[in-house]
């Protein structure tokens, strides 16, 4: 049984219209980007690792990656 294709299609259409409506309101409110970011705003950093150093970053058997994942997972879980 479950949901019919018609209901699913209608749901996605309504969701898209709602998102676009919200974005229109946001665009009318925020005319231009701010010239300075809040010190609390998240930042995105990009690192380029030399190919010959990738093994050192990953660690033996991916050990370093797994440790970093666990540390970050705990950090975000308790925020």
The pLDDT value recorded for residue 30 is 84
Q: Are 64 and 57 in contact (CB under 8 A)?
A: yes
The pLDDT value recorded for residue 63 is 75
Q: To the nearest 5 percent, what fractions of the chain are helix, strand and coil?
A: 65, 0, 35
The pLDDT value recorded for residue 14 is 97
Q: Which residue ranges in the chain fall short of pLDDT 50?
A: 79
The pLDDT value recorded for residue 41 is 87
Q: Are 78 and 71 in contact (CB under 8 A)?
A: no
Full-model pTM: 0.42
Q: Say how many C-beta atoms besides its own lie within 10 A of residue 59's C-beta.
A: 13
């Amino acid at each position: 049984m479950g949901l019919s294709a018609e209901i699913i299609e209608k749901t996605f259409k309504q969701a898209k219209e709602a998102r676009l409506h919200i974005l229109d309101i946001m665009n009318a409110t925020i005319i231009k980007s701010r010239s300075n970011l809040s010190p609390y705003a998240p930042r995105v950093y990009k690192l380029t690792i030399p190919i010959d150093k990738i093994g050192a970053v990953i660690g033996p058997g991916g050990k370093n990656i797994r440790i970093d994942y666990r540390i970050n997972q705990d950090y975000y879980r308790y925020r």
